[in-house]
Amino acid sequence: MNGKQLRYITAIAETGSIRGGAALLGKDASTMARTLKKMEQDFNVRLFRRTPEGLRTTPEGEAVLGIMEEIVRSCEVLPGGEALPANKALTDREILPSSEVLPGSEALPSSAALPGSAALPSREALPSSETLPGSEALPSSEALPGTRAIPGSPAGSNLTEQEIRYLLTIRDCGSISRAAAELYIAQPSLSQVLRQVEEEFGLMIFKRTSRGVEPTEAGRVLLASLHAIRGLYRRLELTVEEFQDMKRGTITFGVPQNLGAYLLPMVLPAFSAQYPGIRVRFRENNSTELDRLLLADKIDFSIMHFQEENTALAYEAFFDDPFYLVIPGGMTGRFGFPEGRRLLEEDLQLLGNSPFIMVARGQKLRQVADQILETCGITPDIRFETKSMETAKRLTAAGLGVTFLPGSYLTLYSGMEGLACFQLDESLGASWQLVAAYPKKGGLSRSAREFLRVLGDCLADHRA
């Protein structure tokens, strides 16, 4: 969708009829009717009802029209700048020949919709007489050279939600090629979209640097406005979703890879069975990167083990996951650890000069392990470090040392053959908390909250 299409809907609401809205904007009534029908179909929400006095907004329509009007106003006043020469090539940014499509991506025409969304014309020209109220049309003779702004219609009114997302992704990635990879589109297609938007606004949004691209001064101002508009689109989506009765929608969340292997086979079948119309997408990354994605509005929420509190995020806890000392089965007689109780500080000190196998520094699992050893006053003899929790476990089973693992991961990828495990006492700080995190500003959609409810139920059943 774009600002122009939203303006059609607000004009219908303002005049109380499709013909009235068409007359207000100087548009053909059939075009207005098609736009309204398509938007109601896409939203799966009825925006207007017929009455003897004309069209009246439904309660759902009342809820979304205010947000639509905010988007329209914001798009109409987007800042512009000096025009790009008509023949200026993109020589000052990253360009790949059109044949160099990124691996795993297919070139899309610039007007193509992303998979799962309907393609809408985003560049339908308005005759010069169809100036939107509140905007001043430039006479055709005064058009900025090299631009293709629609006479009488601010460039921002034609900007699509998809284009906004593309531009903000380039900004966040600092590279057109990296942004294309993140968006799963071909780099030449993304460059083409950028060029078209720059021509419409008559300014250069990004400049090339030794590290990739960065916004120009004018581009930085424009992108800040686009970030706010994207937030309005997100509000619109969440508001519409409240009226869809969980029949349609999309959830996007983040989860660390190992945690995803533990949780997703448990929760996704249960959630999809209850809400088959809700599309679920997830991104796998570490906790630090998940926080960045949350604050950049790339994901709705994340599921992770709690680290340091981020004051911009809210947290909902599920359970505390205790840690275990894991040793080769043949070593149990050497230490004489007691059966039936958790290990205390003095028990761990019996490890003495035993070799340790640890996961790499920077991982949350390593942070908890280091805290346990520090509490016990143990300087470990670390024989091997690995990025893989499962590798640490299998090396322990091979008799090469001892390690620490959380309870939920003990049998994640393999069994406990050749191993013995002992739960650690809470006094050692030997646990981590499974939480969902999401931005305090904006909160969670209904479908996201329902997903977390189903996850909580699945965890309760699994741990019972």
**For residues 100-105, average pLDDT:** 40
DSSP state of 387: S
Find residue 357's DSSP bridge partners. Answer: 384
Ranked by mean pLDDT, the top range of 76-80, 244-248, 385-389 is 385-389
Q: Residue 122: pLDDT above 50? A: no
Query: Measured in Å, how far apart are the chain's first and last C-alpha atoms?
Result: 47
Cβ contact 278:295 at 8 Å:
no
Percent of the chain with pLDDT over 70: 83
Buried b (16+ CB within 10 A) or exposed e, 422-442: bebeeebebbbebbbbbbeee
Question: In a 3-state reduction of DSSP, which class is residue 346?
Answer: helix
pLDDT on residue 61:
86
Q: Please write the tens of the pLDDT for every residue from 129-145.
A: 333 343 343 333 333 33
pLDDT on residue 80:
61
Cβ contact 362:345 at 8 Å:
no
Instruction: Please give the Cα distance from 409 to 431 (Å, whole number).
Output: 12
Kindly report the backbone phi and psi dihedral angles of residue 30, in degrees, each rounded to the nearest multiple of 5, phi listed first: -65, -35
* H or E segment to which residue 179 belongs: helix 176-183
Each as own residue / partner, the long-range contacts of residues 114-120 (CB below 8 Å, 24 or more positions apart, any chain) are 114/162, 116/279, 117/162, 118/38, 118/42, 120/1, 120/2, 120/5, 120/38, 120/160
Kindly report the backbone phi and psi dihedral angles of residue 318, in degrees, each rounded to the nearest multiple of 5, phi listed first: -105, -60
Instruction: Please give the Cα distance from 367 to 360 (Å, whole number).
Output: 9
Instruction: Please give the Cα distance from 71 to 410 (Å, whole number).
Output: 50
Q: Residue 235: pLDDT above 90? A: no
Q: Please write the tens of the pLDDT for every residue from 328-354.
A: 998 888 888 888 889 999 999 999 789
Which of the pair, 210 or 355, is modelled with greater confidence? 355
Angle, CA of 235, 236 and 242, to the nearest 5°? 90
Instruction: Please give the Cα distance from 258 to 381 (Å, whole number).
Output: 26
Our measurement of the distance from residue 284's CA atom to the centroid of its chain's CA atoms, rounded to an integer in Å, reads 11
Which of the pair, 105 or 283, is modelled with greater confidence? 283
Percent of the chain with pLDDT over 90: 45
Q: At what angle do helices 161-173 and 187-201 cross, to 10 degrees?
A: 110
CA quadruple 405, 411, 417, 423: dihedral sign? positive
Q: Residue 150: pLDDT above 50? A: no
CB atoms within 10 A of CB 283: 16
Separate counts of helices (H) and strands (E) for the chain: 15, 13
pLDDT on residue 464:
67
* H or E segment to which residue 50 belongs: strand 48-51
Ramachandran category for residue 268: left, alpha or beta (phi over 0 → left; psi -120 to 50 → alpha): alpha
Q: If you count them, how many residues does the chain have?
A: 464
Sheet strands (E) in 84-159: none
Q: Residue 85: pLDDT above 90? A: no
**For residues 255-282, average pLDDT:** 93
Q: Which amino acid is at 229?
A: I
Instruction: Please give the Cα distance from 438 to 441 (Å, whole number).
Output: 9
Question: In a 3-state reduction of DSSP, which class is residue 415?
Answer: coil
**For residues 289-296, average pLDDT:** 86
Helix, strand, coil in percent for the chain, rounding step 5: 45, 20, 35
Q: Please write the tens of the pLDDT for every residue from 159-201.
A: 888 899 899 999 999 999 999 988 889 999 999 999 999 998 8
- Please give the mean pLDDT across all residues of the chain: 81
Residue closest to 435 by CA, chosen among 320, 303, 313: 303
Q: What is the gyration radius of the CA atoms in the chain, in angstroms? A: 28
Q: How confident is the model at residue 153 (pLDDT cuts 50, 70, 90)?
A: low
Our measurement of the distance from residue 200's CA atom to the centroid of its chain's CA atoms, rounded to an integer in Å, reads 28
Q: pTM above 0.85? A: no
Q: Please write the tens of the pLDDT for every residue from 389-436.
A: 999 999 999 999 999 999 999 999 999 999 999 999 989 988 889 999
